[in-house]
Amino acid sequence: MDDEIAFHSAMIDIYERAKEECSYNATRFFNMVTEKRGLEAAKSCFLQMNFKTDLQHSGNLIDLTSQ
């Protein structure tokens, strides 16, 4: 299976799991993924995001968080 097809399938799986397991219907996410395909939808999201990344130290662990 082509990597882009596998990625697209994984994005659809995320939508379906959120709907089934969390009763969350992410309609905008689903529409974006089906219109642009998974990889282009992901690229589009990352290009539009304005987020800050922080390192949080917790004992011997370092957690990477995005806000």
pLDDT per position as a tens digit, 3-44: 999 999 999 999 999 999 999 999 999 999 999 999 999 888
Residue 15: CB atoms within 10 A of its CB come to: 18
What is the length of the chain?
67
pLDDT score for 40: 92
Amino acid at 11: M
With a pLDDT cut of 70, the percent of the chain lying above it is: 70
Rounded CA gap, 65 and 3, in Å? Answer: 27
Spell out the domain ranges in the chain: 3-66
CB contact burial 33-54 (16+ within 10 A = b; e otherwise): beebebeebbeeeeeeeeeeee
Q: Which are the contacts of 11, defined by CB distance < 8 A and separation ≥ 6?
A: 33, 38, 41, 42
